[in-house]
Amino acid sequence: MKRNFVLLITLMVLVTSCSQGPKWQELFNGEDLQGWEKLNGTAEYRVEDNVIIGLSQMNTPNTFLATTEMYDDFILEFDFKVDDGLNSGVQFRSNSLADYKDGRVHGYQFEIDPSDRSWTGGIYDEARRGWLYPMNYNPEGMKAFKHGEWNSARIEAIGNSLRTWVNDIPCADLLDNTTASGFIALQVHSIGSAEQEGKTVAWRNIRILTEELEKYKMPDNQDVMQINQIASSISEREAAEGWKLLWDGKTTEGWRGAKMDDFPDKGWSIENGILKVHKSDGGESTNGGDIVTTRPYKNFMLKVDFKITEGANSGIKYFVDTNLNKGAGSAIGCEYQILDDKNHPDAKMGVNGNRTLGSLYDLIPAPKDKPFRNGFFNTAMVVVEGNHVEHWLNGVKIVEYERNNDTWNELVQTSKYKDWPNFGNAEEGLILLQDHGDEVWFQNIKIKELE
């Protein structure tokens, strides 16, 4: 009898344990701001009716209300409501360190964006790299936000996987390993006009889960584009989609000098997963020289992360034929321009800015307001599908054109390429990284071949 009683009690404990579900922790007690601290700015936060309300204020930088606790892996849920015309966000795995911009809050941010851009749910790297997952990667997710209403949000930060939802609609799917731990913070963004003063953003039902995350995380959604920011890696999703590393991050395999059979023995180096072209005299191919792939490519999506030093000039070329120019200077091909627009004179040359960063060099200009991350790695993407070509920068399309037609050929005749026969019309070609005599860093070079 006693044994049966013990067995019954054990079963009851097990049933109770199984029925408890996820062990959520409330981050906001509904009454005051205990467990939170204000950082950086002077905008006001107050509590009303179980809601934290942030009020925009003139003459203050971004203001953050941060948890006093730090979190690494978690699932975070909250409701938010924002006035139109006010930008905001929720920081996660963020920090305020004395040795980084005098304590400036920096780190991942869940974007709250009621503007026509509709990037709510995207992931921004506050005070650091800028946009990591702009919502134009996920057009369906751009429709999730509801103006003038309470919206629900979910953030899953589990290992290197960062995912977001708005009103149960999946938004961002990002892989990144820059920061593993930090606080949660609510943002009142700085404003530039008196008309915005007093606008509010509000949060409620803020809770976090830190246990059994694999059990309670949302299933993968293959319809949402995944962006992998981890250098020299191919995720399971990328591999399934056909992405491959074009540079392995360690050796020179798959690359050679544009005007030689082997990889240059000077002017380039590999260190800590970064491929560097060295500073020399600022000339085209006067030191180590350009490097090219050892095989040509036809239809493809190419991604290259690049970081420029001050005043630097370089480029990513495609449809390259190394037999065209055997003399001095760079090999010939269409070029995604890499340039310090602010400090290099080439930005002011050419026609209408067609030699600036991201432009199809000397042919088609990229817009001036492109999303460049000064001082950090940027992701260039070139998409080639037959005669249709696109240039992207950090997830935003900045150049688009058609080749192999009269309009294209006429454009070429007004450029420095007019003397090269049939320029840009080749069916396939090599891919090139340029030595223009300035130090530029490359990493995370990958390609997906298209049918």
The CATH number assigned to the domain holding 401 equals 2.60.120.560
- Residue 15: pLDDT over 70: no
Q: Is residue 1 part of a domain?
A: no
Q: What is the pLDDT of residue 30?
A: 97
- Residue 297: pLDDT over 70: yes
Q: What is the pLDDT of residue 20?
A: 81
CA 281, 282, 286, 289 torsion: positive or negative? positive
Residue closest to 135 by CA, chosen among 144, 127, 126: 144
Q: What is the pLDDT of residue 361?
A: 98
> What is the percentage of the chain residues whose pLDDT exceeds 90?
90
Domain boundary among 228, 261, 291: 228
Q: What is the pLDDT of residue 328?
A: 82
192 & 110 share domain: yes
221 & 301 share domain: no
Domain boundary among 228, 246, 281: 228
**What are residue 408's phi and psi, to 5 degrees?**
-65, -50
Confidence band of 3 (pLDDT split at 50, 70, 90):
low
- Residue 257: pLDDT over 80: yes
- Residue 387: pLDDT over 60: yes
- Residue 135, classified by CB atoms within 10 Å of its CB into exposed (0-12), middle (13-18) or buried (19+), is buried
As a dihedral over the C-alpha atoms of residue 295, residue 297, residue 303, residue 306, rounded to 10 degrees, the angle is 50
Mean of the pLDDT values across residues 344-362? Answer: 97
Range of the domain at 186: 22-228
CA distance 272 to 99: 24
- Residue 158, classified by CB atoms within 10 Å of its CB into exposed (0-12), middle (13-18) or buried (19+), is middle
- Residue 25: pLDDT over 70: yes
Mean pLDDT, the chain, rounded, equals: 94
| Cβ burial 109-123 (10 Å sphere, 16+ → b, else e) | bbbbbbeeebbbbbb
Question: Model confidence over 44-56: pLDDT tens digits?
Answer: 999 999 999 999 9
150 & 262 share domain: no
- Residue 2: pLDDT over 70: no
Query: What is the tally of structural domains in the chain?
Result: 2
216 & 272 share domain: no
Q: Is residue 17 part of a domain?
A: no
120 & 259 share domain: no
Q: Is residue 278 part of a domain?
A: yes
Q: What is the pLDDT of residue 218?
A: 98
CA distance 157 to 265: 43
Q: What is the pLDDT of residue 422?
A: 94
CA distance 160 to 259: 40
369 & 343 share domain: yes
Q: What is the pLDDT of residue 14?
A: 43
Q: Is residue 184 part of a domain?
A: yes
CA distance 265 to 25: 58
187 & 322 share domain: no
190 & 222 share domain: yes
Q: What is the pLDDT of residue 284?
A: 87
Q: What is the pLDDT of residue 13?
A: 42
- Residue 4: pLDDT over 60: no
3-state class percentages of the chain: helix first, strand second, coil last, to nearest 5: 10, 40, 50
83 & 202 share domain: yes
| Residue 389 contacts residue 363 (beta carbons within 8 Å) | no
246 & 111 share domain: no
CA distance 28 to 203: 10
Question: Model confidence over 74-132: pLDDT tens digits?
Answer: 999 999 999 999 999 999 999 999 999 999 999 999 999 999 999 999 999 999 988 99
12: enclosing H helix or E strand: helix 2-19
Q: Is residue 11 part of a domain?
A: no
| Residue 119 contacts residue 113 (beta carbons within 8 Å) | yes
pTM: 0.88
Characterize the bridge pairing of strands 63-67 and 51-55. Answer: unpaired
The full length of the chain comes to 451
Mean of the pLDDT values across residues 147-172? Answer: 98
Domain boundary among 228, 258, 283: 228
As a dihedral over the C-alpha atoms of residue 36, residue 40, residue 41, residue 42, rounded to 10 degrees, the angle is 50
- Residue 21: pLDDT over 80: yes
248 & 224 share domain: no
Angle at 420 between CA 417 and CA 421, to 5 degrees: 130
147 & 170 share domain: yes
Mean of the pLDDT values across residues 163-184? Answer: 98
DSSP 351: S
